[in-house]
Amino acid sequence: MKRILPFRGLMSGRMSQLHFLCALLLSVLSTQAATFYVTPTGSGNNSGTDWSNASPGSQLRTKLAAGTSGDIFKIAQGTYKPTTYADGTSLSISFSIPSGVQVYGGYTTGTENRNFGTTVFSGDIDNDNLLDEQNSTHVVYFDGVSSDTRLDGVVIEGGYANGLLFLGWGGGVFNNGRAKVSKPLLINCYMRNNYAERGSGMFNDGDRRGNAGCQLINCVFSHNYARSEGGGLTHYGDSDASTNPALINCVFYGNSTDFTGGGISIIGLKTGINLFNCIIWANTAGASDPGIVIMDGVEIQYSNVQDVPASATNINVNPLFVDAPGGDFRLQTCSPLIDAGDPASTTATSSSVDLAGNPRFYNNGRIDMGAYEYQGNLTNPVAITTGPASASAVCVGSTVSVPVSATGTALSYQWYKEGTLLEAQTSAMLSLTQVQASQAGSYSVVVSNACSSTTSLAFVLTVYDLPAVAITPTSPTVCAGSSVTLTASGEGTYLWDTGKTTSSISVTPVATMYYSVTVTTANQCSSTASTQVTVRDQFPVPTLASNPSAGSPGSLTVIQNTPYVTLTASGCSGLLNWSGSYDGSDPSITVSTLATGTFSYSVNCQLEGCTSPTATFTVLVTPSLVSGSFDGFVNGADCSTFRGWAWDRNKPNTAVTVDILDGPRWSQPYWLMCSDRICKPLVRAMESMPSLGVSPKA
């Protein structure tokens, strides 16, 4: 690097030719820009050519002052002071940054990694760690520099400007554009804990129709104090708005002054400042305008300036810094300044990174206000868009589903009934099943996220009782084939499962079955009752047996005067009921054979009101028969002896066996001998003794 400072004196002369040559020389030299490396203590041969040969901090001021346009200074983390010669005459010694020189701070020693805020330019040249009269008047000085002059990533603190005029302005930074142009770029810088009569953090002097239109990006002014005005920054303009400084994504916090403009003050009537995406908050002034002295020419865009009324361009709300008193000006999750900066901002108009070195356009999203970009997505506030319904009326036992729709980030829901939290109801749908009358009332939901919440309008639930329904008689029993009348109670309309709509129905079930009825009230609430109608099994038909036994089922033929027939009914546990030729209930009856004819008997079984089917039996009593070649007669009977004759014409003189029949009594075979082949006809004998009969046996 060439030392060109001596030319300044020459250029003030009248030698225009030389002036031109010098300008040409400057132009040539500027293409030979160099990069210098500086650490607090230096390293290697201290030439500054690289980190291994870094210049020590004690040489920084002179190295800077000797810089030429295009030179780059990389300054490692640590504290640097313009001088340590605190004899009172060195107060005006500053880090003077020549036009076109770029100064970058915050390097971790030996690397290209940067951490803004770790390289400190301090005015505490008396080394007592006090902000006092023994500190530098201006820590950093710009004097008529071009817009490619850059101070990047440096903390400027401890300046103390308490003298007259210029010596009382700009404790931290003095930008001299008085009657000339001086437009440095300060980016990623902190101006803190400086003192001045005016403009403690920075004084921007554009008086005498000068142009001090500097640019500040990602800069924080905090805890600077000015006795008169401009605790953070004073701009002194005297040209026109085209020379306004531009402050982009800057923060002014905790600056103060005894008079006016705690954050920013503006002197002069023809210029102001332009604020984009800036935060001016919690600054104080003894007399007026704690935030900023507003004058014509001040343009506020997408900013948050306290004490300036909220408008389309100014929010004026608590920025919600993470820890402003502790110096942490990042935005909390719920800060209203997230994604609230100028949506037209680009890396060209702002910076690609914020003051923490994080991406300025997080997730390619909209820029925030302030020096730090929130590293997350915006938490959109809660807004209920639909629902819940205002009211609903249902029947006991119903299911109730009441949806609500809301917009916002990461929403949570909590339903309440009459103000009482419902633990299980934490979704976008109020869901009630098997609703009971006690659940009638007013419901609402609170929709919330990390940053906001809102309460819905009320949903009023009405619950109607169900009708009381019963069927009488309860669980009746009927005989097979019988009917029963079922009657429903309960107020409303009726509908039986048979399709009937009357309160009473008559049913004749063929088997045991259920009948149900649904009663519906005027509120369209329904209840159903059912009852079982039991059909008693049919009793079995009594079994009729005969003695003598029947030749064919249900009928028996006997000969007149043979022993009486016995009919016996069995299989009935109830009452036997005979009809026909006998009317009684005896299990056994006797059928006489004295008279011929057909005799029918019917019997059923009766039990608990039910009657079995009927069994029938027919007894046919026929006249005595004599057939074949037999002949004979009975002549008389006395005591135990019958007298008479019987023979077989085909077998003369052969003994035959005859039955002596006298109705119910037993019969007995008798051996008779034929004594006379010529006999009187049997008929006569039968006519004389009609009560006896002869039934020859084969």
Interface ranges with Ca ion (CB under 5 A): 124, 126, 128, 130, 132, 134-135, 339, 365, 368
What does the alpha-carbon distance between residue 278 and residue 298 come to, in Å, rounded to a whole number?
13
539, 589 in Cβ contact below 8 A?
A: no
Nearer to Ca ion, 126 or 238 (CB): 126
Nearer to Ca ion, 128 or 586 (CB): 128
Q: Which two tokens stand for residue 655?
A: 């003994």
Instruction: Give every CB contact of residue 636 below 8 A, 6+ residues apart in sequence.
Output: 642, 643, 644, 689
Going 23 to 24 to 28 to 31, the CA torsion angle's sign is: positive
3-state DSSP of 115-172: CCCCEEEECCCCCCCCCCCCCCCCCEEEECCCCCCEEECCEEECCEECCCHHHHECCC
Which position has the token pair 């705690």?
A: 262
Nearer to Ca ion, 126 or 342 (CB): 126
3-state DSSP of 609-649: CEECCCEEEEEEEECCCCCCCEEEEEEEEECCEEEEEEEEC
What does the alpha-carbon distance between residue 526 and residue 183 come to, in Å, rounded to a whole number?
85
Nearer to Ca ion, 143 or 368 (CB): 368
Nearer to Ca ion, 151 or 338 (CB): 338
Going 19 to 21 to 27 to 31, the CA torsion angle's sign is: negative
Q: How far is the CB of 446 from Ca ion (least distance, A)?
A: 28
Q: How far is the CB of 204 from Ca ion (least distance, A)?
A: 25
680 C-beta neighbours (distance < 10 Å), count: 12
Nearer to Ca ion, 144 or 370 (CB): 370
Nearer to Ca ion, 88 or 419 (CB): 88
3-state DSSP of 500-517: CCCCEEEECCCCCEEEEE
Nearer to Ca ion, 94 or 593 (CB): 94
Q: How far is the CB of 257 from Ca ion (least distance, A)?
A: 21
3-state DSSP of 170-225: CCCEEEECCCCECCCEEECCEEECCEEEECCCEEEEECCCCECCCEEECCEEECCE
What's the CA angle centered on 526, arms 522 and 528, to 5 degrees? 140
Nearer to Ca ion, 86 or 507 (CB): 86
Nearer to Ca ion, 344 or 673 (CB): 344
Of 517, 513, 519, the residue nearest 476 (C-alpha): 513
Nearer to Ca ion, 79 or 427 (CB): 79
Q: How far is the CB of 375 from Ca ion (least distance, A)?
A: 9
What's the CA angle centered on 388, arms 383 and 392, to 5 degrees? 170
Q: How far is the CB of 127 from Ca ion (least distance, A)?
A: 7
- What are the C-alpha distances in Å from 336 to residues 321, 368, 379? 10, 9, 9
In terms of DSSP bridges, do strands 597-607 and 615-622 run parallel, antiparallel, or are they unpaired?
antiparallel
Q: How far is the CB of 301 from Ca ion (least distance, A)?
A: 16
Calculate the CA 215 to chain-centre distance: 49
Length of the chain equals 698
Q: How far is the CB of 135 from Ca ion (least distance, A)?
A: 5
165: buried, middle or exposed (CB in 10 Å: 19+, 13-18, 0-12)? exposed
Q: How far is the CB of 274 from Ca ion (least distance, A)?
A: 21
